[in-house]
Amino acid sequence: MKPLEGIQISPADVLRKHTSELGLAPGDELRHYRTLTDGLGLVHHRYQLYHRNVKVQDAEVFIHEKNGIVESLNGHWPRG
């Protein structure tokens, strides 16, 4: 995915908007499990992938924001 610099929507809305780009299949769900703030003021939201309520090992998405603006999204997850 391209950097999401400057998008002024919530991390959850970013995930909803980019579901097809992430290659999520029917029955997939990204569940928020942690938010951390680093020393530079960046807020990191972590999401775990579940497929039909079963946790998918090593499948996570990270959304990074600063001052309420989403800066980027990265992670590792299976496609389709």
The percent of residues above 90 in pLDDT, for the chain, comes to 51
Sign for the pseudo-dihedral over CA of 46, 74, 14, 58: negative
Euclidean distance between CA atoms 38 and 45, whole angstroms: 11
Question: For position 7, what pLDDT does the model report?
Answer: 56
pLDDT at 3 over 90: no
Backbone angles phi, psi at 42, to 5 degrees: -75, 140
pTM of the full predicted structure? 0.83
Show me where the domains of the chain are located. Answer: 11-76
79 versus 25: the higher-pLDDT residue is 25
The arithmetic mean of pLDDT across residues 16-40, rounded, is: 91
Question: Pseudo-torsion of CA 61, 30, 7, 64, nearest 10°?
Answer: -30
Domain 11-76, CATH 3.40.50.620 — does that match? no
The arithmetic mean of pLDDT across residues 18-42, rounded, is: 92
11 versus 44: the higher-pLDDT residue is 44
48 versus 66: the higher-pLDDT residue is 48
